[in-house]
């Protein structure tokens, strides 16, 4: 697995790891960061079905931030599961994860890729600062199948 050094501050070293975190950490980060909890079967499918993913580990090797991209490999890509452990928020980790995911799409997808995400209120400022715009007049919609 490719590793790229990421130092957010001189006191708090972090490492960006290409690939999804282990399933247990994926489920923990979703829940701890306030995303909707998922079960192991859902998490395993999400990880396996990702076009790309990365996560950030702390100095002890514990995953503390993550994100992934879902995509068709042609033109449509959706960034999902941007999550940072609350004890590690406000250190630029979410930004670095999204930047890496965008760089990966730029590097591997054909020109003209369309990248979407659902910007919950806590992340909207970050996403806008990275160039994302509202899709108005379109409206995001969802259907949960039970």
Q: Check residue 7 and give its pLDDT.
A: 43
Domain boundaries, the chain: 3-129
| pTM, two decimal places | 0.89
Q: Check residue 12 and give its pLDDT.
A: 59
Radius of gyration of the chain, Cα coordinates, nearest whole angstrom = 15
Question: CATH fold of 3-129, please?
Answer: Aminopeptidase (3.40.630)
Q: Check residue 60 and give its pLDDT.
A: 94
pLDDT tens-digit profile, the chain (146 residues): 344 544 443 345 899 999 999 999 999 999 999 999 999 999 999 999 999 999 999 999 999 999 999 999 999 999 999 999 999 999 999 999 999 999 999 999 999 999 999 988 888 999 999 999 998 888 888 888 98
Q: Which two tokens stand for residue 57?
A: 């580990």
CA distances from 87 to 49, 58, 63, 100 (A): 28, 11, 12, 21
Residues ≥6 apart with Cβ < 8 Å to 117: 78, 79, 80, 82, 127, 132
């Amino acid at each position: 697995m490719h590793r790229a050094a990421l130092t957010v501050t001189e006191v708090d070293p972090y490492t960006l790891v290409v690939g999804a975190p282990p399933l247990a950490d994926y489920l923990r980060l979703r829940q701890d960061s306030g995303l909707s909890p998922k079960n192991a079967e859902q998490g395993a499918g999400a990880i396996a079905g990702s076009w790309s993913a990365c996560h950030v580990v702390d100095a002890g090797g514990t995953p503390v931030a993550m994100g992934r991209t879902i995509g068709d490999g042609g033109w449509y890509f959706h960034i999902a599961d941007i999550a940072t452990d609350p004890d590690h928020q406000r250190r630029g980790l979410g930004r670095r994860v999204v930047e890496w995911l965008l760089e990966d799409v730029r590097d591997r997808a054909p020109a003209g890729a369309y990248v979407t995400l659902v910007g919950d209120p806590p992340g909207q400022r970050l996403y806008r600062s990275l160039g994302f715009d509202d899709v108005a007049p379109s409206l995001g919609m969802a259907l949960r199948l039970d």
